[in-house]
Amino acid sequence: MKVPLLDLQVQLSYLENDLIAAVTRVIKSTRYIQGPEVENLEREIAEYSGAAHGIGVTSGTDALLVCLMALGIGPGDKVLTSPYSFFATMGGILRLGAIPIFADIDPVSFNIDPAKISEILAADKKREIKAIIPVHLYGQCADMAAIMKLAEQYGLPVIEDAAQAIGAEYPMLKDGKIEYKKAGSMGIAGCFSFFPSKNLGGIGDGGMVIAQEKSFAEKLILLRNHGAQPKYYHKLVGGNFRLDPLQAAALRVKLPYLESWHRQRADNAASYNRLFADTGLVADKKVQLPVSVFADGQDVIKGGRNVHIYNQYVLRLKKRNALIQWLTRNDIGCEIYYPVPLHKQECLGQLATKTHCPEAEKAANETLALPIYPGLTSSMQLYVVEKIVQFYR
C-alpha cells in the first residue's frame, strides 16, 4: 500500500468543477488586482477567525514581514520568537535588519514556553526586544494567556504566526468564564498562510493578516501596496504584497469545507492515538503521542480544551532516522518539521553559535510527521501503525 504524506487529489475529486468555475469567473471579470474576490475572502476569513479586519497578502511569509514593517521594526531591534518553526517566522525579522531572540519550546506541545519568555524579558534591561512572535505549531495554539500577560506587562505587541493554525481555538479565561478565541485573534495581528499543504490551501501561494485595530489594519493595507495613498503618493515604503484574486476565488470555494476538514484531521489523530496506545509502543516509551497540553502537563486547561486543527500529526520517536528509512521503503510518506531549529540555521552566522535551545534541538532530532490529511482511510492508518510496530519489533 502507498500512503502519501498529503494527497490533494482527494479534495480535487469533489472541488474540481467549482475551482474551475471560480477561476473562470476571475478571468472573465478582468479584475486581476484586488477586487471583489479578495475583498470577500478578507471579510469571510476575518469573520471566521473572530477578527475585525482581514488583509489579503502574497503569502504567510509576507504576512509576517508586513506586520513587522507596520510595527516599525528595524535594524538593531530584537524580536522574541520560537526556535522551532518554519524559516519564515524569523525570515521577516532578519530581512528588516532586526535580531531574532529565541525562547526555547515546551517539550510536550512543541510551542514556545512562556516561562522562557519571562526569563528573557526580565533580562532585557535595555528594553531592546520590540515584539513577540509566538507560533501555533502543527495547528495548536501556544499558551496565549501566559504570553499575552507577559506582553502586557512589558508593553510589547504580539504577532501570532498562525500559518499552520487557521481555525484552532484557545480557551481564554475572561471574568472567570472560558471564552474560546480563534488563532490569530488574540495578538495585535495574526498571520495565515494559504500554502497548498496548510488546512486551507490555495492553488498556489497566498496569505492573510487578521487584525482587531482599525489603525493597524489601515497601515497594513498601505504597506501591502507600496505605501501608496492615493495611487502614486507614497506615505510609507511598502511593497507589493497583494493577494492574487485567482487565489482568493479558489480559497472561497474551499473555505466552506474547512471545518469538516479540521474534524476529519482530528478524527484521524484520535484513531492514530488509539491504534498506537493499543500497540504498547506508547507504554514502552518508543512513541510519544501529540496531546493538547501546556507545560503544566494538564490535558484540560482551566476546564477548557486547546482545540488542535492537526495541520500536522507529529510524534516524538526513538530511532527516528532509521524509522524514516523504513517508512520510505514501505511507501509511507513522512517528514521532519523541522530538522534544523531556527537558531542553528547557517544564515544566522555568529548569532547561531551563541544561542542554546536544548528542547528545540532535541525535538529536531526526535520528531516525525505522519500522514493525517482528510481522506486518509482507516486501512491506510492501520497500515502505517502496523509498519511502525514491525520496525520496533
Ligand X SMILES: *Cc1c(COP(=O)(O)O)cnc(C)c1O
Beta-strand ranges (E) seen in the chain are 53-57, 78-81, 99-102, 129-133, 159-161, 169-174, 177-182, 189-193, 207-211, 287-288, 313-317, 367-370
Q: Which is nearer to ligand X, 192 or 276 (CB)?
A: 192
The reply on whether position 84 binds ligand X by CB under 6 A is: no
- How far CA 125 is from CA of 115, 121, 129, 259, 385, in Å, comes to 17, 8, 10, 44, 50
The reply on whether position 164 binds ligand X by CB under 6 A is: yes
Q: Which is nearer to ligand X, 187 or 276 (CB)?
A: 187
Q: How far is the CB of 227 from ligand X (least distance, A)?
A: 21
Q: How far is the CB of 217 from ligand X (least distance, A)?
A: 20
- Asked if 260 contacts 37 with a C-beta cutoff of 8 angstroms, the reply is no
The reply on whether position 60 binds ligand X by CB under 6 A is: yes
- Burial (Cβ within 10 Å: 0-12, 13-18, ≥19) of residue 3: buried
Among 57, 70, 81, 86, binds ligand X (CB under 6 A): 86
Residues 143-162 that bind ligand X (CB under 6 A): 161
- Angle between helix 378-392 and 320-329 (nearest 10): 130
Task: Please work out the total of residues on this chain that contact ligand X, with binding judged by CB under 6 A.
Answer: 15
Q: Which is nearer to ligand X, 207 or 290 (CB)?
A: 207
The reply on whether position 261 binds ligand X by CB under 6 A is: no
Q: Which is nearer to ligand X, 248 or 275 (CB)?
A: 248
Q: How far is the CB of 105 from ligand X (least distance, A)?
A: 13
Residue of this chain nearest to ligand X (CB atom): 60
- Burial (Cβ within 10 Å: 0-12, 13-18, ≥19) of residue 255: middle
- Asked if 162 contacts 190 with a C-beta cutoff of 8 angstroms, the reply is yes
Q: How far is the CB of 161 from ligand X (least distance, A)?
A: 5
The interface region with ligand X, picked from 86-94, 219-227, 271-279, 359-367 by CB under 6 A, is 86-94
Coarse DSSP helix, strand, coil percentages of the chain, rounded to the nearest 5 percent: 45, 20, 40
The interface region with ligand X, picked from 85-93, 215-223, 265-273, 289-297 by CB under 6 A, is 85-93
User: Which of 371, 384, 372, 368 minimizes the C-alpha distance to 5?
Assistant: 371
Residue with cell string 479578495: 38
Helices (H), 237-345: 245-254, 258-279, 320-329
The interface region with ligand X, picked from 58-66, 100-108, 369-377, 382-390 by CB under 6 A, is 58-66
State how far the Cα of 142 lies from the Cα of 150, in Å rounded to an integer. Answer: 13
Q: How far is the CB of 208 from ligand X (least distance, A)?
A: 10
The reply on whether position 61 binds ligand X by CB under 6 A is: yes
Residues 174-233 that bind ligand X (CB under 6 A): 193, 195, 205, 207
Q: How far is the CB of 204 from ligand X (least distance, A)?
A: 10
Among 148, 163, 210, 243, binds ligand X (CB under 6 A): 163
State how far the Cα of 264 lies from the Cα of 261, in Å rounded to an integer. Answer: 5
Q: How far is the CB of 107 from ligand X (least distance, A)?
A: 18
Among 135, 209, 249, 287, binds ligand X (CB under 6 A): 135
Q: How far is the CB of 36 from ligand X (least distance, A)?
A: 23
User: Which of 70, 368, 31 minimizes the C-alpha distance to 191?
Assistant: 70
Q: Which grid coordinates belong to 218?
A: 489601515
Q: Which is nearer to ligand X, 164 or 185 (CB)?
A: 164
Q: Give residues in contact with ligand X (CB under 6 A).
A: 59-61, 85-86, 88-89, 135, 161, 163-164, 193, 195, 205, 207
